[in-house]
Amino acid sequence: MSVPRRPYVMLVALCLLVIGCSAGAVQTFDPSGPRDAAGPGPAAAEARSVEPLRRPGEIPDLGPRTRAQIPAETRQVVVVTGQGPDSNRSAVVLHNLDDPALGWRPGAGPWPAHNGREGWTDHHLAGDLRSPVGVFGLTDAGGRLPDPGSLLPYDEQSRFAVSGEGFLGEPLEGSFDYVVAINYNRTPGTSPLDRTRPLGGERGGGIWVHVDHGGPTQGCVSLTEDRMRELLLTLDPAKYPVIVMGDAASLAR
């Protein structure tokens, strides 16, 4: 005589009914959170909100050591990023800190630029044809042409006239029509033409941002004339502007 199977079947069906939702949830679990017809759930939105990992408002591609050299009072930074340690080509971007709550924001650029013929160095010496790596103040300007409206002190001098040829045979005339002195081995608050060298003459000097002549420099950074004029009209001594310059790998440290 066989035992009726109906109660056993009903018991199994009842168990499946009780555990069915949880079993289905395990099988279809989505780590991004629950979903419905409206799209991803709140967990997915929260996960997206924490990207990117870089904190918002930081100047991109600068490492902690480089950022630490930017003075606390600075509100304008000109970043010159070389293509490589031995490259004489670079890109310039101006960043502003208008609202500390929002952080740094790009204000102009990227602009193509030239730097020293042999690239970059963290120990510049006179005649090495490399641009110095570091963070330097921008306090003084000048040039052969009249002041276009610079906010920095501007020294108009015929002594800024230059002649001859660059490394590629290009004419140098007009290269110093507009210049901004980079405070490497110089006394801030003086004309870019001042030849005082606090670190000594062997460490070089006369490092400027000036008008590009179509080739590498002896250590300066050069921009087209219209960009130089724009830079002069933008740099504000009340914002304590600095230039952060070097090859990409050095700046990322």
Residues identified as active-site: 210, 220
Dist CA 110 CA 181 (whole Å): 20
* Residue pair 131/116 in contact by the 8 Å Cβ criterion: yes
Gap between the Cα atoms of 9 and 223, Å rounded: 85
- DSSP E strands, the chain: 35-36, 39-40, 76-82, 89-96, 105-114, 120-121, 131-132, 134-137, 141-143, 154-156, 179-181, 208-211, 221-223, 242-247
Burial (Cβ within 10 Å: 0-12, 13-18, ≥19) of residue 29? exposed
Distance between CA atoms of 223 and 126, rounded to whole angstroms? 22
CA distance 3 to 9: 12
DSSP string, 9-53: HHHHHHHHHHHHHHHHHHHT--TT--EETTEE-HHHHHHHHT-SS
